[in-house]
Amino acid sequence: MSAKKILTTHKDTDFDPETFVSTYYSSVDGSEDYGDLMTFFLNGLSEAFRSGAISGVHLLDIGTGPMPHTAFCAAPWFEEITLSDVSQKNIEFLQKWKDGKINHMGPVLEYLVKLDKSSSSVEKRQDELRQKTKHIVKCDVTKENPVVSTPVDGIVFDAITSSLCLEIACLTLDDYAKSVGYMRNLLKPDGHLVLVGVLEDTFYTVGEYRFINLPIKKDELREIWQKEGFEILSLKDFNETCSSPKYGNDNSDFKNAFVMVAKKMANTI
Ligand SMILES: C[S@@+](CC[C@H](N)C(=O)[O-])C[C@H]1O[C@@H](n2cnc3c(N)ncnc32)[C@H](O)[C@@H]1O
């Protein structure tokens, strides 16, 4: 049997949405390889939004990929949702999902609805998200104005969510800090940020491609967000939360992970 050939990349055109979904989101309790990482992320997202303390009119999800599950947690508390990604393939995939042609989030949404203990069904909640998703746009978080698509250009968002994107988009800590500043400019003062990510991770794979990651450490993460004008309200840590965290497999070499809730300080631009 020949060994699988892995190609190292940073190109968004090498990202295949279907392969990404089947590799990482086909189940929630996961395989031994992923330990409790998925449930850690989903519990953290559900907890961040469940109380309704984070709410408003406009929500932006940055680097949605093919998975709008982060916006799914936020949807009950917002009126208009914008999903965004740098990759055209992901934008087209999300549009098909919005049009009801793809239903690919079954296990994830079932788990989230169970966590919320809401009387609403997965179908109803997903329909709500589809209806509230008003824009699916191109976004490059490494650009000074990450979202330049009319009519989204110019909206100041009440909240921003982003999952597993910044450490992939930015290859150095300086670039990461710049992107945090660009995200801050999209957010209104006192607006909330809910960020999901991995720490000290150098790569993750999608099919035959190995995407390069910025191996950011927890202290660096905290320092950058605070310096860029955010108050960190909570920073949940995978290693501290899970009894037997598992990491370091063929798909990714992360050493830790986090779910962070922060607020843009009112006196920052
Ligand atoms: C690991 S996937 C995460 C997808 C989804 N948010 C999740 O949590 O499953 C990373 C996503 O970030 C997107 N991305 C990479 N660089 C980006 C950039 N510069 N601006 C916006 N999105 C970017 C990729 O296209 C991809 O969809």
Q: Is residue 8 one of the residues assigned to a domain? A: no
Distance CA(228)–CA(186), nearest Å, equals 13
Q: HSE-up of 263 (CA within 13 Å, CB side)? A: 12
Domain hosting 183: range is: 17-264
Please indicate, yes or no, if residue 6 is contained in any of the structural domains. Answer: no
Total domains, the chain: 1
Atom of ligand 1 nearest to the CA of 162: 6
Task: Retrieve residue 215's tokens.
Answer: 């191996």
Torsion angles phi and psi, residue 10, rounded to 5:
-135, 15
Beta carbons of 202 and 254 less than 8 angstroms apart: no
Q: Ligand 1: distance of its center to the CA of 67 in Å?
A: 10
Distance CA 115, CA 39 (A): 10
User: Any idea what the CATH number is for the domain that residue 181 is in?
Assistant: 3.40.50.150
Bin 55: left if φ > 0, else alpha if -120 < ψ < 50, else beta.
beta
Per-residue pLDDT of the chain (269 residues; tens, 9 = 90+): 445 677 888 888 889 999 999 999 998 875 444 568 889 999 999 999 999 999 999 999 999 999 999 999 999 999 999 999 999 999 999 999 999 999 999 999 999 999 988 889 999 999 999 999 999 999 999 999 999 888 888 899 999 999 999 999 999 999 999 999 999 999 999 999 999 999 999 999 999 999 999 999 999 999 999 999 999 999 999 988 877 776 667 788 999 999 999 999 987 76
- Could you tell me which of 268, 259, 269 has the C-alpha nearest to residue 54? 259
Tokens for 158, please give them: 């009440």
Whether 269 is covered by a domain: the verdict is: no
Evaluate: CB of 164 within 6 angstroms of ligand 1.
yes
State in Å: Cα 164 to ligand 1 middle: 6
Q: Is residue 54 part of a domain?
A: yes
Pairing mode of beta strands 256-264, 230-237: antiparallel
